[in-house]
Amino acid sequence: MAQSKENSNVLVIHGPNLNMLGKREPEIYGKTTLDEINASLEKLGKRLGLTVEAFQSNHEGAIVDKIQDAAVTQKGLIINPAAYTHTSIAIRDALLLLDIPVIELHISNIYKREPFRHTSVISDVATAQIAGFGVQGYRMALEALARMIQNR
């Protein structure tokens, strides 16, 4: 994909416990750390003409604040809400404020896990959802987001 003359800012939000990637349940989430994922996204973003900002929090309100800020500073958003996927109406409502493409991302296939993980309160307000591709899903999401932004 050709780079644009001006980089577009995109935000990647990682929800609770994702700061423990590489240590937490490696049989489900793999051994790649969050720092490695973020470095890979930043590098790929440069090739795609995107400036990638990554943010992780274990706190729902901090994630809501970051989403609200994204409304005026970002051209696109990738969010792995983690456990908040199934419970956070506050994050869902914040996403409704956005007029930018939003990709909901999950490292594991949430539909092949415990029944309580099968429901996403985010999916109907996201532009797209990627689940079950491991950490490669982040790359897929960023490439898709670049195309969405380019086509706007």
Choose, from 14, 84, 106, 138, the residue flagged as catalytic. Answer: 106
- With beta carbons less than 8 A apart as the criterion, state whether 101 and 76 touch: yes
**Is position 59 annotated as part of the catalytic site?**
no
Cα atoms in the 13 Å half-sphere on the side-chain side of 35 = 1
**Is position 138 annotated as part of the catalytic site?**
no
Choose, from 29, 59, 86, 111, the residue flagged as catalytic. Answer: 29
Please report which residue ranges of 75-119 form alpha helices under DSSP H.
Answer: 89-95
CA distances from 60 to 13, 15, 113, 145 (A): 11, 8, 23, 24
- With beta carbons less than 8 A apart as the criterion, state whether 94 and 68 touch: yes
Catalytic residue numbers read 29, 106
